[in-house]
Structure 1
Amino acid sequence: MERYEKVEKVGEGTYGKVYKAKDKNTGQFVALKKTRLEMDEGIPSTALREVSLLKTLSTSIYIVRLLSVEHVEKKGKLLLYLVFEYLDTDLKKFIDSGRYVINVDPLPPKLIQSFMYQLCKAVAHCHSYGVLHRDLKPQNLLVDKSKGLLKVGDLGLGRAFTVPLKCYTHEIVTLWYRAPEVLLGTFHYSTPVDVWSVGCIFAEMAKRRPLFPGSSEVQQLLHIFRLLGTPNENMWPGVTRLKDWHIYPQWKPQSLAHAVPTLSPSGVDLLAKMLQYDPARRISAKAALDHPYFDDLDKSQF
């Protein structure tokens, strides 16, 4: 670890502290993630498996690159440092910049389209390896403004280090991007949970504010039901048998075009396909890449 000079602490994530550091050998900035591994006998095999999977996945330009893994023994405790490429901003900061100005402009439609395409590429890439992200949100999507690139970060850590060891800061683990089947306590979820999150992020880029800003799991569900209608067995077979299903107020579906007025009709159609209640009917990330919303995008740049 002598090779890296810590510049500043840039965050305290779910899995430990994150530092901006300088690689003394190359002069480049990197992000150091210090993961606390509570263990006595070496690195758990699950963590090693995840880290090697992370290295494989990060060969995609749309995934934050894992440059190396260093482990340090400190006072008999093993610390694992993951060394990632450093990007100076994330999509949340990008969306929020200028949000507090009166009459702030929405993000340019072409930029939203480009970011969405890159996000679907990244998610489809992970899913092709059988990897779920499970915590996609604007804070986990890093942006290289100079190149117009969007990259998925914090991938795969959920399984390597068991979902939040502790929440180190008072930052609430956000529910805004969580799929309804997870909120309703399903035991079997798969790749559609990430697609739901992508849909929520899509709407947030277009609105410049979250689509479903719930403050608790029940509130989160009610936000979703108010817009998309209260689900029933017709819309979503099996929903009433889910562990946390209760009797909810009955709302009728509202217009998505009205909820996200800056989206084009094809954008609204893609959003509707991503926010399908029944996970089996939700569009896949791979199929989303061929959606007409992307027809006029210059795909040669990707």
Structure 2
Amino acid sequence: MKLNKISNYIDECGINFLILREIKIMKEIQHKNVMNALDLYCEKDYINLVMEIMDYDLAKLINRKILLTDSQKKCILLQILNGLNTLHKYYFMHRDLSPANIFINKKGEVKIADFGLSSKYAFDMHSGKTANDKYSKRALNLTSKVVTLWYRAPELLMGSNKYNSSIDMWSFGCIFAELLLQKALFPGENEIDQLGKIFFLLGTPNENNWPEAKHLPLYTEFTKSSKKNLKNIIKTDDDDCIDLLTSLLKLNSHERITAEEALKHRYFLNDPLPCDASQLFIDM
């Protein structure tokens, strides 16, 4: 078991809401690819959150340039998608998905963690379903200041406060590319630079690829850029890999593939197949 000590958990209104939200999600979502809170107890200055033992995060694996087989990469990605799909089925957005918040243990199990910024959302644009509970009403007007910069969807960078689980799918696409490249796909220094890097690769917004962009609060005109071929960036001959990545990294959030759809993508069904989790762990 891992003991996570959370300090400064009391504010002027009582226990900090972000901490309560993280605990609630870990208790509510019981899935092998979502970090589980086993127990919690309070001390004078801390909340002690007892969680499952994990051996390292995905950021460490990538930063150390560990060579993985295609089967191992697929195993990691598939487990992240399974965790995301479960979160989204409960109408939770993670809102801070990054390699630093994805953990791997000795069994090769991959788990999504850190739900301090997570939120419920009111409407799933893909399924047409509405989340009818007290959280969905609060989620109608959301902050755009979420998600670590390099993994932040373009609509958030442009100030949108009405979004859904597609922001997590953008983050997943960035993580997917980073796992392949062993470096960040869009390592922006600030929000404008981040948008510039995104538009340089995917093309600037226009009436065809993202007609709603010009109506967003922080919309800014960028020097026109045409879409680049991802194959030249990722340097792979795997058409299925490029197809899935392209389906994730869509400027228009309505066009992004869902976690459920991604799980059925032929990238995971064709050789080399994802390895078993027991073949994934790397002793670092």
On the 8 A contact 1:64/1:84 being kept in 2, the answer is: yes
Secondary structure of the structure 2 residue equivalent to 1:81:
strand
> Which aligned runs of 4 or more in structure 1 are off by greater than 6 angstroms?
299-302
Residues in 2 aligned to 1:224 and 1:49: alpha-carbon distance in whole angstroms? 31
Are 1:96 and 2:63 matched, yes or no?
A: yes
Residues in 1 aligned to 2:172 and 2:102: alpha-carbon distance in whole angstroms? 11
Shift of the 47–153 alpha-carbon distance from structure 1 to 2, 3 Å rule, reads: closer
Letter of the 2:61 counterpart: F
Q: Residue 196 of structure 1 aligns with which residue? A: 170
Q: Residue 43 of structure 2 aligns with which residue? A: 72
On the 8 A contact 2:92/2:119 being kept in 1, the answer is: no
Letter of the 1:36 counterpart: N
Q: Residue 269 of structure 1 aligns with which residue? A: 243
Q: Residue 50 of structure 2 aligns with which residue? A: 83
Q: Residue 223 of structure 2 aligns with which residue? A: 249
Q: Residue 183 of structure 2 aligns with which residue? A: 209
Deviations 1:111-141 (A, max 9, x none): 1111111111000100111111111110111
Shift of 1:247: 1.2
Residues in 1 aligned to 2:17 and 2:226: alpha-carbon distance in whole angstroms? 48
Q: Residue 234 of structure 2 aligns with which residue? A: 260
Shift of 1:205: 0.5
Letter of the 1:91 counterpart: L
On the 8 A contact 2:95/2:117 being kept in 1, the answer is: no
Are 1:51 and 2:23 matched, yes or no?
A: yes
On the 8 A contact 1:206/1:263 being kept in 2, the answer is: no
On the 8 A contact 1:231/1:239 being kept in 2, the answer is: yes
Shift of the 54–134 alpha-carbon distance from structure 1 to 2, 3 Å rule, reads: same
Shift of the 288–159 alpha-carbon distance from structure 1 to 2, 3 Å rule, reads: closer
Residues in 2 aligned to 1:138 and 1:280: alpha-carbon distance in whole angstroms? 24
Q: Provide the alpha-carbon RMSD of the alignment.
A: 2.4
Are 1:61 and 2:32 matched, yes or no?
A: yes
Secondary structure of the structure 1 residue equivalent to 2:149:
coil
Letter of the 1:65 counterpart: N
Q: Residue 180 of structure 1 aligns with which residue? A: 154
Shift of 1:42: 4.3
Are 1:113 and 2:74 matched, yes or no?
A: yes
Residues in 2 aligned to 1:204 and 1:263: alpha-carbon distance in whole angstroms? 17
Secondary structure of the structure 2 residue equivalent to 1:67:
strand
Shift of 1:249: 0.6
Residues in 2 aligned to 1:159 and 1:238: alpha-carbon distance in whole angstroms? 24
Deviations 1:63-119 (A, max 9, x none): 122111212234xxxx3222211212110111122x3xxxxx753111111111111
Residues in 1 aligned to 2:117 and 2:199: alpha-carbon distance in whole angstroms? 31
Shift of 1:237: 2.0
Letter of the 1:148 counterpart: G
Shift of the 65–244 alpha-carbon distance from structure 1 to 2, 3 Å rule, reads: same
Q: Which protein has the bigger strand share? A: 1
Q: Structure 2 stretches of 5 or more lacking a match?
A: 121-146, 279-284
Q: Percent identity?
A: 35
Letter of the 1:178 counterpart: R
Residues in 1 aligned to 2:27 and 2:74: alpha-carbon distance in whole angstroms? 28
* Aligned with 1:132 (options 93, 99, 116): 93
Residues in 2 aligned to 1:206 and 1:238: alpha-carbon distance in whole angstroms? 31
Letter of the 1:87 counterpart: M
Shift of the 41–204 alpha-carbon distance from structure 1 to 2, 3 Å rule, reads: closer
Deviations 1:200-248 (A, max 9, x none): 0000000111100001000000000010011112211210111111111
Are 1:152 and 2:122 matched, yes or no?
A: no
Q: Residue 287 of structure 1 aligns with which residue? A: 261
Residues in 2 aligned to 1:174 and 1:48: alpha-carbon distance in whole angstroms? 21
TM-score normalised by length of structure 2: 0.81
Shift of the 42–216 alpha-carbon distance from structure 1 to 2, 3 Å rule, reads: closer
Letter of the 1:154 counterpart: D
Secondary structure of the structure 2 residue equivalent to 1:238:
helix
Residues in 2 aligned to 1:217 and 1:108: alpha-carbon distance in whole angstroms? 34
> Counterparts in 2 of 1:221-236, with a 5 A limit?
221-236=195-210
